[in-house]
């Protein structure tokens, strides 16, 4: 188990990659994009992007905007 900061909140998880994190968080059906420590992680690289304790993960989705 490691501690991450996901969307600004601390989360303890067993996920070792961004892909696992997304799966565990049940985003699969959703339409999302991801970034780790301020850098974009394309969908194709989620499975190979390892997570380290303290990593800041952003998981975002389409919303209204001006």
Partner 1 sequence: MNIRDQTLHESDPLMLYGTAMRSRLLLGTAGYPSPAILADAVTAADAGVVTVSLRRETAGGKTGARFLDLINGLGVKVLPNTAGCRTAREAITTAEMARELFGTPWIKLEVIANDDTLQPDVFGLVEAADVLTRDGFQVFPYTTDDLSVAERLQRAGCEIIMPWAAPIGTARGIVNRAGLESLRAYFPSVTLIVDAGIGAPSHAAAAMELGYDAVLLNTAVAKAADPAVMAAAFAAAVKAGRLGFEAGLMPPRDMAMPSTPVAGTPFFDLEPKS
User: Which residues make beta-bridge pairs with 4?
Assistant: 11
Residues in binding contact with partner 1, number by CB under 8 A: 27
Q: Whose structure tokens read 């799966």?
A: 23
Binding-site member from 12, 14, 38, 53 for partner 1 (CB under 8 A): 38
Question: Minimum Å distance from CB 42 to partner 1?
Answer: 6
d(CA 5, CA 65): 25
**58 near partner 1 (CB under 8 A):** yes
Question: Minimum Å distance from CB 44 to partner 1?
Answer: 9
- Of the chain, the end-to-end C-alpha distance in Å amounts to 39
**49 near partner 1 (CB under 8 A):** no
């Amino acid at each position: 188990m490691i501690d991450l900061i996901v969307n600004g909140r601390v989360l303890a998880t067993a996920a070792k990659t961004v892909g696992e994190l997304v799966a565990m968080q049940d985003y699969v059906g959703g339409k999302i994009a991801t970034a780790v420590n301020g850098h974009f992680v394309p969908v194709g690289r989620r499975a190979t992007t390892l997570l380290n304790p303290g990593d800041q993960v952003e998981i975002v989705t389409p919303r209204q905007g001006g």
